[in-house]
A and B are shown apart, each in its own frame.
Chain A
Amino acid sequence: AAAMSVNADLRRERAAATFQPELLTHILDGGAERTRRRKEIEALVLNDPDFQHEDLNFLSRSQRYEQAIRKSSLMVMKLREYGIADPEEIYWFKSFVHRGRPEPLDLHLGMFLPTLLTQATPEQQDRFFMPAWNLEIVGTYAQTEMGHGTHLRGLETTATYDPSTQEFILNSPTVTSIKWWPGGLGKTSNHAIVLAQLYTQGECKGLHAFIVPIRQLGTHEPLPGITVGDIGPKFGYDEMDNGYLKMDNFRIPRENMLMKYAQVEPDGTYVKPVSDKLTYGTMVFIRSLIVGDSARSLSRACTIAIRYSAVRHQSELKPGEPEPQILDYQTQQYKLFPLLATAYAFHFVGAYIKDTYHRVSGDISTGDLSELPELHALTAGLKAFTSWTANAGIEECRMACGGHGYSRCSGIPDIYVTFTPSCTYEGENTVMMLQTARFLIKSYSQVTSGQQVTGMVSYLNELSRQRIQPQHVAARTVTMRINDPTSLVEAYKSRAARLVESAAKNLQAELNHRKSKEDAWNRTSVDLVRASEAHCHYVVVKLFTAKLAEVSDAAVHAVLTNLCLLYALFGISRNAGDFLQAGILTSAQISQVNQHVKELLAVIRPNAVALVDSFDFHDVHLGSVLGRYDGNVYENMFEWAKKSPLNKTQVHESFHKHLKPMQAKL
């Protein structure tokens, strides 16, 4: 089946594209040189026989874990062999090896080692870093407990200092305090960085991090006082041993508390850290990665659904003619093209957030923390906004593939189950949206008290200017130019302003009624989430529009402009109520928007396949029979199915065990 030529439909699609996909790929990668290097690393992995294995869909969970740990250990060796050290290049290598899936060493590499670097004293680094670097110590990061996730202050694990032996005594005092979910904790790690409430001299000093050995070096058996294991099967993450950890009077030396900032002296005296804002940095960084991950996961799903829709023929559009490609149906385009536009939008947002993070962390290292609050608010909101949208979008792509999308061979079920936890981890999305809302409300009250605000919320400044006029805040219909993205940015800006203001006013009204601030906040939280969503939506439209100015190739510019327009107009169409209610757009304008969305679908249609080709996912990475580059879908579905575990024997053993005896009896 390997030597088949490209399906004629896909060949035609590619020939009809109006732009060169490679040029767009370069933009996504951040330059032609980056693309070249990415492909070089991709080839290193794909041509390496050590990284080949059976289709994971046919393996049990234990087997998948085994494969993952096998590949991870090879990966660590080979990264060093090839001298790959740049974080982004490591990321590429890793995602090709594991094909976009999680792996058991994720937390060792992504959390354990970095936390040692940032929070350990030089003495601690000497003791732990090299053994960890050489994988003698394999660690994880144990924060989440059974009873508490995003709300960190509620964590219940305790670390009580005993000055007589100069040790900390770690305990899991309740069932809910059992550490639960940390990746690599169940079976892989022999150490964990444990977050616990520190008690010294009879006082609770809040959460601190401790290095805790959990398994015996050599035998890998759990240490006395430690109960550790796998939390069982999940929706996805089969290759990851998410674990539990229960500690009973488990003692560790004083020197195992990470003491670069806060310290406990031998006599038990607690020394406070200088600033607690610095811990923001890591969170901001990981959340910014999720924005990029939203873009990539949605892009993969779009690639599969759009290629398949170009290959699948069904029913009739015109009487007497052959069955058309399902991509020619308006309803199919309406499902897929806005998602395609969204995937591009999120790519650009992800790149922006990454750059901003690097810029701001540069400032932080020189002591300038001024931009941190806004960046924190923005990444929290965009993490939630993009992951929610991508989560729903991946499922829409799968549904657009009909029954075959439901088969694991489509690859989309795996993309979905791997991606969907990002709505929860690193900050539950609703909580994230409310954090952004807190920043928005704060900015709003600064504006109303006469101050100017800067950055992405500066549109709030206009509210005070408008207030001089007697009419409703945003109740001036904008003269919208439907083909001009900058004009649409203005519409989104007005919507965000209006929803922030309305949430702020509702909050004030609640405060006037009730005594408690918390109650008022809770009773306004649905409005507050809406305001944050509108703010994030505005930011995405704005960033996509800004990106257009950087594109020099005329053909690519044209196709990206259409995607940007589709993204913005579809968003207006879907949220028409907000624009109507605030008087930003009239019904006639909304009808015009609805109509233009449909016209854009037809405009984008000839470039749809080229636009997903530009994402440049290798077939191995895509892991989908429906989304193959060559479009030979049906033949390969058959080949794939033959390998199913139920097909191992011609007659299944159930026949002899159950069916035959029944037939004999009846």
Chain B
Amino acid sequence: SVNPDLASERQTASFCVEKLTALLDGGTEQTRIRRAVVEAIESDPVFSRENQYFQTQNERYEAAVKKAVHLQKKMHEMGWTENGPEYKYIYRALSGDVAFLLHRVFMRSISVLGSDKQIAKWIPLATQHKLIGSYAQTELGHGTYLQGLETTAVFDAATQEFILNTPKISAMKWWPGDMGRSATHTVVFAQLYIHGKCYGIHPFIVQIRSLQDHSLCPGITAGDIGPKMNFEHIDNGYLLLKNVRIPKENMLSKFCEVRPDGTYVRQGSQQINYFTMTTVRISLISDEVLTPLMKACTIAIRYSAVRRQSKLKPGEQEAKILDYQTQQEKLLPQLAAAYAFHFVNDYLQELFNRGYGEIQRKNFDMLPELHALSSGFKAVITQHCTAGVEICLRACGGHGYSLLSGLPSLYTKIIASCIYEGENTILLLQTARFLIKCFMAANAGQPVPPSVTYLAAVKHGKCPAKNKLDFLSPDIYTEAYQHVAVRLTSSTAAKLQDLIQSGVKKHDAWNQCTVQLVQAAKAHCHYIAVKNFAETVEKLETKAGIQKIMKHLCDLFALHGIFSNTGAFLHDGYISAAQMDMVTASYLDLLAVIRKDAVPLVDAFDFTDKSLNSALGSYDGQVYQRLYEWAQKSPTNQMSPAYERYLKPLLHNTLSKL
């Protein structure tokens, strides 16, 4: 039965939970399909994650491979296809706990970078799993900075082959998923050399394991890179190439080709490469970043409604920890952020779809803006959500530290997203480069993309708020965010120019301004997120209390951002000291308001107990019983050999030696 402390939270919801779920899914039909997929996956014992927290790296890997293989069967059975509406929910239903994720990246890179002939040859093989692919880009010595990769591919005109080599230890491929144990083929990125001249980084299909017995091919050294913070189920691998010869046809050649005589021909636009990165950065936000934060909020908020600690009023029952202002101040801003970024993700998806349409019409105008927004938001959202999950973890006190809470795994998984697909600081600097460029252009009266037109309209006013209620007006706070974004961008641009005019070299000037540039890029993204949230709320239907609660969350998201970064808003007096007290007062008032709907707001995320896999966060709130039951299943509760081997001698025999 449901713990009465949770049941009572649900009775007082100010809005219709089911309607909010549908809004998050993008429609009731979407909700229905998602639930059907989740149901099908969770009712199949092969996909169970029940014992996950007790498994070793080897066991996790084996389970993931088993699931990946079984998934093929399941999809066939259910009639799900890769282009069907169900497909995108499968990964969520599995909680990402499955192998061969890089197989899809392998296929996508062939589809995007391969010639028609290459696509015709490799894609059917991959689709039927006649081979298992991986994607080998990152090396021991280089990650985000691709030009620095050191693997070489030398063209041998005599045999019409490429000879691949790992010339030094730092050139070893390192980290690619599925490569340590599973993959038979991989797309290797290497510096192309023809007749002694380097033509930069190119992709090559390389077979690394035998299709018969899975042994390593001649010239190949490969293996697993060892234990990590998480992703125990993935065999991230290393790869060393020693004079490995591949036929000329194995260089992916949609955009570049090497003729038999060694002539190098570039065809089409390289800009499309940018587009691939943009695609990946946007696509990871939902499953890899928002889902963990939403799960963490669900666990921490439900637990905080069940956990009672200390007394708020003498003589009364101990209070739910969710009733403490300090606990609300930890958790509710994370909840607001989860919603805010959900809507940013919608915004990015829409922008992306539009951009994709343009690109198909050979119009690349939207690319720079899309690139800047996807880089900046990838960094801002991953950083914010990672911090949010950690706050949820620590807000659960000691029990949050148990793996059985589910929180440590969510944290160690989401934290990887701050680094993969582009290290965050570098991404923010890319966004900053775009901002500075647009700022200059806007000031010179040239047209700039829509998301940055605000940079041209620098206003020098002050915040007009007169009392704390004024700060619940989206116009007031959105303008404050805009003001800070403009101020940081313009002051950094000015400083850059000053430095350059005083004789500092351009790249030195840039490095001296990078701390500020990062701040400007963050301010820009934060402004867009607030503005987008406010605009989204505006458009929501007023029925069923949805708009009202979303408006509260939007206010909280905005005011929390000001409250936790007061210096930026006070700096030039745009917000005065007295106004800042109003911000704080409004912000703290909101916590108490949203507190009432906290549990329904996480219920709306609609995670099943199996998908949360948490003793603290289940729907029924039977926290302590579950914790006790699960602990007893721990393998450490089988009689340990440590007793016979060490404890017994310690407790008896060794005494004589003491």
Binding site for B on A (CB under 8 A): 57-58, 60-62, 65-66, 69-70, 73, 76-77, 80, 134-136, 138, 144, 146-151, 153-154, 175-176, 178, 180-181, 186-188, 190, 217-218, 220, 229-236, 241, 244, 312-319, 323, 329-331, 334-335, 395, 399, 402-403, 405-409, 413, 417, 420-421, 423-425, 428, 430, 434, 516, 518-519, 522-526, 529, 573-583, 587, 590, 598, 634-635, 637-638, 640-647, 650-655, 657-663, 666
Contacts and interface: CB of A to CB of B under 8 A. Distances in A.
Nearest to B62: A654
- Rank and list the top 6 A-B pairs by shortest CB-CB distance, nearest first: A577-B566, A576-B567, A646-B224, A232-B634, A644-B226, A577-B567
A136 B57 contact: no
* A interface: dominant SS: helix
A149 B398 contact: yes
Contact of B223 (A428, A529, A637, A646): A646
Contacts, number: 360
Nearest to A58: B227
B361 interface: no
B451 interface: no
Contacts of B27: none
Contact of B655 (A61, A136, A319): A136
B397 interface: yes
Nearest to A660: B214
A519 B312 CA distance: 7
Given A409-B226, A638-B172, A234 B403 contact: yes
A646 B235 contact: yes
A523 B325 contact: yes
A315 B149 CA distance: 10
Given A399-B419, A635-B169, A662-B129, A407 B636 contact: no
A403 B324 contact: no
* B interface: dominant SS: helix
B45 interface: no
B624 interface: yes
B600 interface: no
A21 to B, nearest CB: 28
A474 to B, nearest CB: 11
Given A151-B310, A175-B628, A666 B655 contact: no
B544 interface: no
A231 B58 contact: no
B398 A424 contact: yes
A659 B214 contact: yes
B60 to A, nearest CB: 10
Contact of B651 (A190, A423, A651): A190
B140 A637 contact: yes
A583 B636 CA distance: 58
B511 A317 contact: yes
Contacts of A330: 511-512, 514-515
Interface bracket on B: 35 or more
B21 to A, nearest CB: 31
A57 B225 CA distance: 12
Interface of B: 53-54, 56-58, 61-62, 65-66, 69, 72, 128-130, 132, 138, 140-145, 147-148, 169-170, 172, 174-175, 180-182, 211, 213-216, 223-229, 235, 238, 307-314, 318, 323-327, 329-330, 390, 394, 397-404, 408, 412, 415-416, 418-420, 423-425, 429, 505, 507-508, 511-512, 514-515, 518, 565-573, 577, 580-581, 588, 624-625, 627-628, 630-637, 640-643, 645-652, 654-655, 657-658
Contacts of B640: 62, 65-66, 187
Contact of B311 (A176, A229, A518): A518
B280 to A, nearest CB: 16
Given A151-B310, A220-B647, A663 B130 contact: yes
Given A406-B415, A666-B130, A220 B643 contact: yes
Looking at B65, B420, B646, the one whose CB has the most chain A CB atoms below 10 A away is: B646
9 contacts: A69-B646, A77-B657, A135-B658, A230-B634, A323-B145, A329-B511, A434-B326, A647-B223, A662-B69
Looking at A76, A577, A640, the one whose CB has the most chain B CB atoms below 10 A away is: A577
Contacts of B636: 61-62, 65, 186-187, 229-230, 232-233, 241
A660 B172 CA distance: 28
Contacts of B213: 651
